[in-house]
């Protein structure tokens, strides 16, 4: 296991080395993910804050959502693909971007199906409209936050808790807050993403291995 010219490694030294390896690996993974994730969280937090706040006061705000979501996707692509100061080259960032696009497509598919089933009800659509918008909001928030729950299982429990708590808060708003539901989601969802992004930017990158 070691040459006769090198002193043998004790069990304690080997154990310390293995612990150090695990610590460095976790730290590097977390630091790099935090650097990439923080601006995305803030970006989408602002989009949710603006989008849901507008939806509170503008009926049928789906056109606004299409516009700001496309802006968000373009900004995300720019942040991910063209960041000159990205610390890692050749990583799997493109796969993460594609994963989010697939999730976006999944939620869009269900939005279209829900909308079509609602409009198929004919004249009742007008009354059904606001309930559908709330269902759509819950769908989008829960799908996006599910992604953070999964990421949290692999990366850091902070993300898991972020996803779970925002989903729970949105569900509470859906069940109990009829009048200001969208403002509730703007604050709980958008606000949480912004705060989380700032928190990760400050504390994940400054911790040392």
Partner 1 sequence: MPEIDTVIHAPARLRIMAALVSLEPRAQLDFRTLGTTLVLTDGNLGAHLQTLEEAGYIKVEKSFVARKPRTHVSATSKGRARFEGHVAALREICGV
Distance of CA 124 to the CA centre of its chain: 35
Nearest distance from C-beta of residue 173 to partner 1, angstroms: 39
CB under 8 A: which stretch of 23-31, 66-74, 124-132, 163-171 binds partner 1?
Answer: 23-31
Least spacing, CB of residue 76 vs partner 1, in Å: 20
Angle ∠(170,173,179) on CA atoms, nearest 5 = 135
List the one residue out of 117, 120, 114 whose CA is nearest residue 133.
114
**Between residues 17 and 171, which has the closer beta carbon with respect to partner 1?**
17
Contacts of 111 (CB under 8 A, 6+ apart): 136, 139, 140
Return the CA Rg of the chain: 22
The contact mask relative to partner 1 for 42-81 (x = CB under 8 A, - = no) is ----------------------------------------
C-beta of residue 48 within 8 angstroms of C-beta of residue 193:
yes
Count of alpha carbons within 13 angstroms of residue 153, beta-carbon side: 6
Counting residues that bind partner 1 (by CB under 8 A) gives 31
Does 98 contact partner 1 by CB under 8 A?
no
Residue 94 interacts with partner 1 (CB under 8 A): yes or no: no
**Residue ranges that bind partner 1, judged by CB under 8 A:** 1-3, 6, 9-11, 14-15, 17-18, 20-21, 24-25, 27-29, 31-32, 84-92, 208-209
């Amino acid at each position: 296991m070691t040459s006769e010219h090198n002193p043998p490694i004790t069990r304690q030294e080997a154990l310390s080395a293995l612990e150090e390896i695990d610590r460095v690996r976790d730290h590097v993974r977390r630091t790099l993910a935090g650097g990439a994730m923080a601006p995305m969280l803030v970006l989408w937090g602002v989009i949710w804050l603006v989008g849901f706040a507008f939806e509170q006061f503008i009926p049928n705000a789906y056109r606004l959502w299409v516009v700001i979501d496309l802006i968000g996707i373009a900004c995300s692509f720019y942040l991910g693909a063209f960041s000159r100061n990205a610390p890692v080259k050749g990583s799997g960032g493109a796969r993460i971007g594609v994963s989010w696009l697939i999730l976006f497509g999944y939620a869009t598919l269900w939005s279209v199906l829900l909308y079509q089933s609602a409009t198929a009800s004919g004249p009742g659509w007008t009354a059904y409209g606001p309930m559908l918008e709330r269902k759509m909001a819950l769908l989008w928030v829960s799908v996006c936050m599910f992604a953070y729950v999964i990421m949290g299982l692999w990366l850091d429990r902070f993300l898991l808790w972020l996803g779970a708590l925002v989903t729970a808060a949105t569900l509470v708003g859906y069940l109990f807050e009829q009048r200001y539901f969208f403002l509730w989601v703007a604050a709980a969802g958008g606000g949480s993403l912004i705060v989380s992004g700032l928190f990760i930017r400050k504390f994940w990158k400054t911790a040392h291995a």
